[in-house]
Chain A
Amino acid sequence: MSGIDRREFLATVAAAQGAFVLGFWLPSRAEAQTVSTTAWYEEPSIREVNAWIVIAPDDTVTIRIAQTELGQGVWTSNAMMIAEELQCDWGKVRPQYASANRDAREKAPDWTLNVPGSGAQDPKGGGVPTFGNRDRVGVAGIPDSLYRRMRTNAASSVKDGRYYLQLAGAEARERLLLAAAAMWNVPSSQLTAKNSVITHPASGRKTTYGAIAQRAAETPHPHPETITIKSPDQWTLMGTEQKNLDVPSKITGQAIYGIDVRLPGMKWAAVKTCPVYGGDVKRYDFEAIRHMPGVRSSVQFPIPDPALTRGRIFSGGVAVIADTWYQAKTAIDKMPIEWNIPPVNAAFTSANMRESLIAALDRPGTVRAAQGDVDAAFRSATRIVEATYSTPFLPRARMEPGNATVLVGSDRVDIWIGDQSPQETRFSAAQITGIPETNVHLHLCHLGGGFGRNGNGPQAEHAIMIANANRGTPIHMLWTREEDFIGTTYRAMGVAHLKAALDADGWPIAMDVRTAMQEGGFGPEASFHVTSRYFVPNYRYSNHTTNFHVPVGTRRGVGQAAHEFYRESFIDELARAAGKDPYLYRRELLARTSLPYKQDMITALDMAAKMSGWGTPLPKGTARAIALEERGAEGEGMATISAMVHTVSISRDGKVTLERVDVAHETGFGLVNPLSVKKQLEGQITWFYNDAMHQACTIKDGRIVENNFHAFPLSRINEDPPVINIRFFPTKHWLLGMGHDRATSVQSAIGDAIFQITGKRYRDLPYGKQDLRWT
């Protein structure tokens, strides 16, 4: 490894606008053996104002982003939350990833630890971030380390980060003002700050942030706990549509993803893991391929420690290391490998898993709601309606296959990766290498799609294990698409049985809901727990589990995506059984509840219905369907509520077209970047269309069958609805987030449109497998 010299790699990605810099620091071999005194992220010539903000003499504001940009717009929205309070020139803002290493070594400032305000319905406050003790295996909990939550998950970057990012901007602004006040010997209360300029109106004196920043860096705030954040009525940048700062780099090919990282002396690793989860390598014959071009060595690695992969059991495997990835991949494809496959896991098929889930519905489950006397009400029913629905295993299949580049020295680990949970990856690196977390450096890159934090799977763990066996050599491990289908986590396959007792007018008097997914699936209670969203006086909900071998995780929408399909499909069926309009049926059942946000849900339905022309005539073969989308509406905490009407046509030969979508979406007290919200809504519409019509992973002999895009179809532009209308309405609470669970309504809506047009009711997704022809 003499090829590695001490140097700093600065991959400067400067575009005309929105320039950004990724700093790649690479230690020399000698330096890797000692603790470096200079951290890669520090710019020695410029002192930071605080851990989030560096202001250069030319007024450039570097804002450190502790979440990962994966298309949701966090690179821009996090920066907006800070810049709003900093009152800097937005055109001079330059995002940069925050240091996960520094996060291991420094505690969060005290002034970030207390959430201002009084909860979800206080416009002046910080809402209800998901605080808790640090928990490496759970999704809840924000550590009290420097950057608090570095996860990018659960659509929570605004929900959890807003108040302390606003505080970070405000603290820096106040210190800039204090520094200017000291320089001019005037009270800081006489100064104003706007657009990176500080003015003393009484004397006409002005200075710029760039000119005063170094003094501000040396000026601690005497009472940072007194600093407040702006409420939405004071926002000037937040709440406006801002183009995303990463876009210029993504249209020129200059954005750096994990797969693009190149280091001197770097070798490439291709891997094969046992295609049946829980399996391991029995033997492999490296000698058979050792002579192939570029091939260097091989590494067998075990099933990643479940303690590092949130309890999930993936597979053991083997890596071939070569000069280029294609050489490594070509060689490993020819290498004989035998697997140890647990027979019980190899016995799983989609059919027997479905049977197990259906059987689980009839075993005792976890009761999540029990109101009234359900059994008595069923005995007095005029009519009983029941239905069983199912949803398949679904991967995220992000476009960038799993990868990571790792260099393990004797006392330092460097990892270049697009990662949704860098704090956990840091922990994994320490556990695997025995090198403390404080010596683990993550160099965060953009991620080519996310769609669920745990879906990154053990990409980092594979690369760390391989690099740990090749200390001193940077190893870039890249999964093939087929390996990505093994290495990802899946949204759990699910089934649901819903049963309702209707009175003589067709209104439900009792409902018994049972859902089942495999143990460990995420959101097993979603959308039905605590109480029914649609009024029913006698309500019972239980969720049931069984054990399968597939590593399940937080795929976009988690349990809610499936459960809203079940719930909204069933409400459509009840409305049809009652002979009532599905929009007005929903509206009346919401109106009868005492849910705190029922008016918001009704507003969403009314607005979407009106936007769509609900009730006006449509051509034969075209139908509208409506559905409610909510998260958090069971209580009075944070929530996100929307409704959509989908206009769907079906040709006589069964071709489904989503013609038009009308979206009514709440803003809560305020959206940070409404442009990003619109983009997320548009994207999720076609995402869930794709789920509803095409996508499924099936299991045969314990293996995932559909493992590349020839068998796992992705919707293309021809399936994007020609018309998407989005309107927002204000509400009086903070939002839970909207990056992953909007447009779930596409699923039930297409089902009801199929029923309206063809007379057939299908309850198993995806619909594309069904006979949709009609005459």
Chain B
Amino acid sequence: MAFDLTVNGTRHTVDADPQTPLLWVIRDQIGLTGTKFSCGIGQCGACTLHVDGRAVRSCSVPAASAIGKPVMTIEGLSRDGTHPIQVAWKEFDTPQCGYCQSGMIMSTLALLRARPTPTDADIDAQITNACRCSTYHRIRQAIHRAAALMKGQR
């Protein structure tokens, strides 16, 4: 069955079972591979993207749930790495293997929209993505830095 999804501002017509998890439609039909598969059960957050401005674990929601709503993936943040979160991530050289980082950055975006000046407790409560390399120490610093950059406090 064909249906439309708007991803990063571009409308795509996809031919898939609308109950297919959004992750697989994004990766295999639309061809955006920055969003990752890891657990398939909504535990780890590697597949985090935004639907209608909210962070969603895309391995565990049907594509149909995103019909008519704007979807944003890591590729929509900025292609050249100039979004403040990406700038902060580079400043702390945050990624190691990097596999979880797309999801981590998309979760951070949702956090900073809800809490522009997050406390460490906010970060602990809201950033529930898993990083097997345990880059958390730099992620925390980078989140605080990104918050400052997003407010123009350089």
Contacts and interface: CB of A to CB of B under 8 A. Distances in A.
Interface in B2-42: 16-17, 20-21, 24, 28-29, 31-41
Contacts of B36: 257, 259, 399-400, 448
B97 A446 contact: yes
Interface string A227-252: 00000000000000001101111111
Interface stretch (A377-385, A515-523, A683-691): A683-691
Interface string B90-113: 100111111111100100000000
Most buried by B among A262, A682, A683: A683
Interface in A580-629: none
Interface in A1-48: 15-16
B56 interface: no
Contacts of B89: 247, 251
Given A449-B99, A682-B138, A720-B140, A252 B86 contact: yes
Contacts of A714: 44, 130, 132
Given A326-B21, A401-B38, A708-B41, A251 B81 contact: yes
B80 A15 contact: yes
A257 B132 contact: no
B135 interface: yes
A682 B79 CA distance: 29
A326 B80 contact: no
B145 to A, nearest CB: 13
B128 interface: yes
A481 B39 CA distance: 5
B46 A399 contact: yes
Interface residues of B, number: 62
B129 interface: yes
B79 A252 contact: yes
Contacts of B150: none
Contacts of A250: 95, 98, 101
Contacts of B101: 250-251
B41 A481 contact: yes
Contact of B20 (A256, A326, A398): A326
A706 interface: no
Contacts of B32: 253
B65 interface: no
Contact of A710 (B21, B41, B79, B97): B41
A293 interface: yes
Contact of B97 (A253, A450, A685, A709): A450
A717 B127 CA distance: 7
B136 A16 contact: no
B119 interface: no
Interface string A248-277: 111111111101101000001000000000
B60 to A, nearest CB: 12
B38 A253 contact: no
A114 interface: no
B64 interface: no
Interface residues of A, number: 66
B100 to A, nearest CB: 5
Nearest to B100: A399
Contacts of B139: 717
A679 interface: yes
B99 A708 contact: no
Given A446-B98, A449-B99, A399 B134 contact: no
A447 B97 contact: yes
Given A252-B78, A253-B74, A720-B140, A71 B97 contact: yes
A717 B99 contact: no
B67 interface: no
Contacts of A721: 137
Contacts of B86: 251-252
A124 B33 CA distance: 45
Contact of B37 (A70, A259, A683, A724): A259
A401 B134 contact: no
A715 B82 CA distance: 30
Contacts of B16: 324
Given A253-B34, A399-B130, A448-B36, A246 B98 contact: yes
Contacts of B17: 293
A684 B80 CA distance: 30
B148 interface: no
B111 to A, nearest CB: 11
Nearest to A403: B37
A449 B46 CA distance: 13
B123 interface: yes
A724 B134 CA distance: 13
Given A326-B24, A449-B99, A679-B96, A717 B37 contact: no
Nearest to B140: A717
A257 B99 contact: yes
Given A251-B86, A716-B130, A708 B80 contact: no
A715 B124 CA distance: 11
Given A683-B133, A717-B123, A72 B128 contact: no
A197 interface: no
Interface string B41-60: 10110100000000000000
Contacts of B132: 397-399, 449, 451, 687, 714
Contacts of B96: 71-73, 679-680, 683
Contact of B93 (A326, A451, A679): A679
B136 A720 contact: yes
Nearest to B35: A253
A195 interface: no
A248 B90 contact: yes
Contacts of B46: 399
Contacts of A69: 97
29 contacts: A244-B93, A244-B95, A250-B95, A250-B101, A251-B89, A251-B95, A252-B75, A252-B81, A253-B73, A253-B74, A254-B75, A260-B33, A326-B28, A398-B97, A399-B132, A400-B38, A401-B37, A449-B133, A481-B41, A682-B137, A683-B133, A684-B134, A687-B132, A708-B43, A709-B39, A709-B44, A717-B139, A718-B124, A722-B120
Interface of B: 16-17, 20-21, 24, 28-29, 31-41, 43-44, 46, 73-75, 77-82, 86, 89-90, 93-102, 105, 120, 123-125, 127-140
Q: Which 10 A-B pairs have the closest CB atoms?
A: A253-B34, A71-B96, A448-B99, A250-B98, A71-B97, A686-B134, A253-B74, A718-B124, A720-B136, A260-B33
Interface of A: 15-16, 69-73, 243-244, 246-257, 259-260, 262, 268, 293, 324-326, 397-401, 446-451, 478, 480-481, 675, 679-680, 682-687, 690, 708-710, 714-722, 724
